[in-house]
């Protein structure tokens, strides 16, 4: 983990490569989308990922887009992250965001049973929409810090993921626990598939 | 995706009848010493080219579509057959009538902004709120309440719907109920019913207008077409499902209605900025265009820096306020670039625009809104933003703009009228207003809302449909107020209680001259189109 550095790209999605030149690194551009019902912490995960911060957020309006550069020892990832709103009224536009995605994170809140059920609906929807096999799909149980209020056990999440052939991770955007591991878990197959 | 730009909507007619848009040959005759007799389009702050907004008779425009043909007369006032335009009420007469009705409640009005939801609806605290707003479906299902939870209020809302239905059964429409110091105002906007319960001294009309804002807020999230479709399909649909996560937008809009003079005046205020700088910002924005782009709007906090629009497309101030509200009450645009469908109901209630919303810099107050007709156009607009920023950064204008952000308002002392504490000046033809920062006595939230309440009162008197006034002077213990409306502008002034009426009248001229001198800075005089 120590080798990994974070940089924020401020100039927008089409900017040229990484600012720190490293020897013969590959650059991989990857579109990543966060899905899941309202209030499960998609924006917080995204914020933890991009700025390593946590703060209470208001519900996302529509969709938020940002870019993030991740440098591993031999690969540089340019992530284009689409953080979608979980609210039902925006569902008609979400196909725009997961279309062509290289990585899809389906997030639920371990302290809310309903969000787990919604997550399964998201998975079904993704399956319906020509998501290619190369897409890295991850089931994420967020709010791991609320383990005493847990309504969805680690085991349940795990078996659902195994069932569908997904990666699985329980994280906490609040404490930062397992978030970088989650990103690493995504990076590896992305690297392999391209 | 269909393109929803339409050209045959109602707002256009207003432009065509010629009474409101600036008349061509008059535009250059900007007199040095404006008088109340000014022709529309020549008052201080009037735009030099075509106006920037659709600015139908502002207030009337908003109420027109729902106004009954007969306006109920407020109690205690009789119409004595005056002509429509009545000249100022004199000092003494106005004095007491106002003072006694001032409700002195709000002993412990709490202000924590976000907690109002958990409140017990049977408690005294809940009852004592100055203004309640309820939204329900025609089946009587709760959709929104400002305080407390909707679940707890389902029977109350059922009663509200029953009241509406009973009156409608007699082929009549319920407008309002006045009882025990409360006003209950009903607004029926199929498929929704909105109810306001107020202890303030606002008129029914003002309250109805606020309900309209709430109605349009809901439409802006869903479009009227979708709303109708849902309820035609399933009459007892629970709309809260679709509005989930957006309640804070309505909460915030209600706060704005209590505090922001722009919503009262149907106008927008600008960031004071040297006109050369503003023009450069505008032209940079104008250059960063895309095919699907309809409006480019740059905001600094709650102030407009500039607005560039597609030729022949106008943005209604109400839609702009809804955009302001959206940006002001969301945090997600700070973290990345926002991309959201939004309906601008005064433009077209049937379809969505797609707005690209982002801050120019992470910690900056400058927020750019690009409104497009194409929902697939995100990267194009993202590129527009990049081009705009690049162009702007190359010029010194960006520095001056950032400099101007440090003092987004001005002090009333600059005007040089010692007794003047505060004022609102709206140029009718540009739909823009200007106002200094609130001076010391009005800086607390209570005092700010009290002053707004006074302005609201004056506004409702000026625009009283059966007996509109041209001017009104009101003496009070804590301040004296003068309001004046002409065909070109609307002016509200607040003086120290020691001032006299003669002095107030003299101040008007001085103030108008000052605004004329400063209009380059305070208004957008040359709006641009792509």
B340 and A61: CB-CB below 8 Å?
yes
Chain B residues closer than 8 Å to A90 by CB: 340-341
Q: Residues A150, A169: contact at Cβ < 8 Å?
A: no
A66 with B336: Cβ contact below 8 A: yes
pLDDT grade for B54, boundaries at 50, 70 and 90: low
Tell me whether A76 touches chain B (CB under 8 Å): no
User: Which residues in chain B are closer than 8 Å to A10, comparing Cβ atoms?
Assistant: 362
- Give per-residue pLDDT as tens, B443-475: 999 999 999 999 999 999 999 888 899 999 999
- Answer yes or no: do B385 and A12 touch at CB < 8 A: yes
Domain B412-522: give its CATH code: 3.30.450
Q: Is the CB of A41 inside 8 Å of chain B's CB atoms?
A: no
Half-sphere exposure of B388 (CA within 13 A, CB side): 30
Q: Does A44 touch chain B (CB under 8 A)?
A: no
For B236, the token pair is 């007892």
Residue A194's pLDDT band (cuts 50, 70, 90): low
* Per-residue b or e along A58-77, where b marks 16 or more CB atoms closer than 10 Å to that residue's CB: bbbbbbbbbbbbbbbeebbb
Chain B partners within 8 Å of A64 (Cβ):
332-333, 335-339
- In this structure, are strands B293-300 and B303-309 parallel, antiparallel, or unpaired? antiparallel
List Cα–Cα distances, A68 to A12, A52, A99, B267, in angstroms: 10, 12, 19, 40
CATH number, domain at A182?
3.40.50.300
Intrachain domains B124-243 and B412-522 with the same fold: yes
Closest chain B C-alpha to A59 CA, distance in angstroms: 6
Q: How far apart are CA B453 and CA B475, in angstroms?
A: 15
CA–CA dist B108, A123 (Å, integer): 50
- Which chain B residue lies closest to A86 (C-alpha atoms)? B245
Query: b/e string for B266-302 if b means 16 or more Cβ within 10 A?
Result: bbbbbbbbebebbbbbbbbbbebbbebbbbbbbbbeb
Categorize the per-residue pLDDT at B116 as very low, low, confident or very high, splitting at 50, 70 and 90.
low
Average pLDDT for A29-58? 89
C-alpha distances in angstroms, A173 versus A44, A86, B268, B508? 6, 17, 39, 58
Q: Cβ–Cβ of B332/A43 closer than 8 Å?
A: yes
CA B311 remoteness from chain centre: 24
Tally of domains in chain A: 1
Of A38, A39, A89, the CB nearest to B221: A89
Mean pLDDT of chain B: 81
Percent of chain B with pLDDT over 70: 79
Q: Which fold has domain B268-406?
A: Beta-Lactamase (3.30.450)
DSSP E strands, B393-486: 420-427, 432-434, 471-475, 480-485
3-state secondary structure of A15: coil
Structure confidence at residue B53 (pLDDT): 63
Dist CA B26 CA B37 (whole Å): 14
Give the residue numbers spanning the domain of A58. Answer: 5-193
Residue in A43, A60, A89 nearest the CB of B222: A89
Asked if A64's CB is within 8 angstroms of B376's CB, the reply is no
**Spatial distance between the Cα atoms of B212 and B210, rounded to a whole number of angstroms:** 5
- What pLDDT does B40 receive? 65
CATH number for the region B124-243 comes to 3.30.450.30
Per domain, the residue ranges of chain B are 124-243, 268-406, 412-522
* Smallest Cα distance from B509 to chain A, Å: 46
User: Tell me, what's the pLDDT at B7?
Assistant: 39
Q: Note the pLDDT tens digit of each residue in B373-384.
A: 998 999 999 999
Of A11, A13, A58, the CB nearest to B248: A58
CA of B355 vs chain A CAs: smallest distance (Å): 9
Provide mean pLDDT across the span A102-123: 93
Chain B within 8 Å of A13 (Cβ-Cβ)? yes
pLDDT at B91: 35
Q: Which is higher by pLDDT, B79 or B356?
A: B356
Is the ipTM, as predicted for this complex, more than 0.90? no
Range in B13-17, B160-164, B178-182, B301-305 with the lowest mean pLDDT = B13-17
Cβ partners under 8 Å of residue B63, min gap 6? B205, B208, B209, B212
Which is more confidently placed, B9 or B43? B43
Mean pLDDT of B170-192: 92
Are B127 and B192 in contact by the 8 Å Cβ rule? The answer is: no
Q: What is the mean pLDDT of residues B499-528?
A: 92
- Stretch B239-262: mean pLDDT: 93
The pLDDT of residue A10 is: 37
Chain B contact for A60, CB < 8 A?
yes
pLDDT of residue B120: 83
Give the angle B340-B297-A39 at the CA atoms, nearest 5°. 25
Looking at chain B, which residue has its C-alpha nearest residue A96?
A: B376
Integer CA distances (angstroms), B74 to B78, B175, B178, B460, in order: 8, 12, 9, 12
Q: Which whole number is the average pLDDT over A5-23? A: 41
Q: For residues B27 and B322, what is the distance between their CA atoms, to the nearest angstrom?
A: 31
Give the helix ranges, DSSP H, for A4-152: 42-51, 95-98, 113-128
pLDDT by residue (tens digit) across B399-440?
999 999 998 899 999 999 999 999 999 999 899 999 999 998
């Amino acid at each position: 983990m120590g080798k990994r550095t974070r940089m924020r790209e401020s100039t927008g999605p089409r900017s040229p490569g990484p600012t720190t030149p490293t020897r013969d690194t590959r650059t991989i551009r990857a579109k990543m989308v966060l899905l899941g019902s309202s209030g499960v912490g998609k924006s917080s995960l995204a914020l933890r990922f991009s700025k390593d911060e946590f703060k209470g957020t208001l519900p996302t309006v529509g969709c938020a887009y940002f870019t993030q550069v991740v440098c591993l020892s031999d690969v540089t990832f340019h992530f284009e992250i689409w953080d979608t709103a979980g609210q039902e009224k925006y569902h008609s536009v979400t196909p725009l965001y997961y279309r062509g995605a290289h990585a899809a994170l389906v997030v639920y809140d371990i302290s809310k049973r309903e969000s787990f059920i919604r997550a399964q609906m998201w998975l079904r929807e993704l399956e319906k929409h020509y998501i290619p096999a190369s897409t890295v799909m991850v089931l994420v149980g967020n709010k791991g810090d609320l383990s005493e209020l847990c309504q969805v056990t680690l085991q349940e999440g795990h078996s659902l993921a195994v069932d569908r052939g997904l990666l699985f991770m329980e994280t906490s955007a609040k404490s930062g626990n397992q978030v970088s591991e989650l990103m690493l878990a995504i990076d590896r197959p992305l690297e392999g598939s391209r | 995706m269909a393109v929803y730009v339409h050209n045959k909507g109602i707002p256009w007619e207003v432009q065509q009848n010629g009474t409101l848009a600036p008349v061509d040959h008059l535009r250059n005759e900007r007199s040095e010493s404006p008088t109340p007799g000014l022709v529309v389009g020549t008052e201080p702050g009037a735009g030099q080219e075509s106006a920037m907004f659709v600015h139908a008779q502002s207030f009337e425009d908003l109420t027109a579509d729902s106004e009954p043909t007969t306006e109920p007369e407020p109690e205690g006032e009789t119409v004595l057959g005056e002509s429509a335009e009545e000249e100022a009420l004199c000092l003494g007469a106005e004095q007491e009538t106002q003072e006694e009705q001032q409700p002195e409640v709000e002993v412990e009005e709490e202000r924590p902004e976000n907690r109002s939801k958990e409140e017990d609806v049977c408690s005294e605290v809940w009852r004592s709120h100055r203004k309640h707003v309820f939204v329900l479906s025609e089946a009587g299902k709760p959709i929104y309440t400002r305080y407390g939870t909707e679940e707890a209020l389902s029977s109350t809302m059922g009663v509200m719907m029953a009241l509406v239905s009973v009156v409608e059964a007699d082929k009549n429409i319920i407008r309002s109920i006045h009882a025990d110091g409360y006003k209950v105002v009903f607004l029926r906007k199929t498929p929704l019913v909105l109810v306001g319960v107020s202890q303030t001294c606002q008129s029914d009309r003002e309250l109805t207008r606020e309900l309209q804002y709430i109605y349009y807020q809901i439409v802006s999230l869903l479009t009227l077409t979708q709303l109708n479709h849902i309820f035609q399909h399933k009459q007892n649909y629970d709309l809260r499902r679709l509005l989930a996560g957006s309640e804070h937008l309505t909460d915030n809009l209600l706060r704005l209605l209590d505090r922001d003079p722009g919503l009262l005046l149907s106008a927008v205020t600008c960031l004071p900025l040297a006109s050369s700088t503003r023009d450069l910002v505008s032209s940079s924005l104008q250059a960063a265009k895309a095919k699907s782009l309809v409006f480019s709007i740059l905001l600094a906090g709650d102030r407009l820096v500039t607005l560039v629009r597609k030729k022949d497309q106008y943005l209604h101030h109400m839609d702009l306020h809804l955009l302001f509200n959206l940006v002001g009450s969301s945090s997600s645009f700070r973290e990345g670039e926002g991309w959201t469908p939004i309906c601008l109901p005064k433009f077209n209630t049937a379809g969505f625009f797609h707005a690209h919303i982002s801050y120019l810099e992470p910690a900056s107050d400058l927020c750019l809104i690009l409104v497009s007709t194409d929902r697939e156009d995100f990267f194009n607009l993202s590129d527009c933003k990049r081009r705009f920023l690049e162009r702007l950064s190359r010029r010194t204008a960006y520095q001056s703009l950032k400099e101007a952000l440090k003092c987004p308002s001005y002090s009333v002392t600059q005007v040089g009228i010692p007794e003047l504490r505060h004022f609102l000046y709206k140029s009718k033809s540009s739909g823009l207003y200007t106002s200094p920062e609130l001076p010391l006595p009005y800086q607390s939230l209570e005092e700010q809302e009290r002053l707004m309440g006074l302005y609201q009162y004056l506004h409702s008197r000026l625009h009283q449909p059966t007996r509109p006034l041209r001017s009104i002077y009101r003496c009070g213990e804590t301040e004296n107020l003068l309001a004046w409306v002409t065909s070109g502008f609307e002016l509200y002034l607040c003086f120290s209680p020691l001032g006299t009426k003669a002095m107030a009248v003299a101040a008007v001229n001085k103030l108008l001259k000052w605004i004329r001198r400063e209009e380059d800075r305070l208004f957008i005089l040359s709006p641009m189109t792509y």
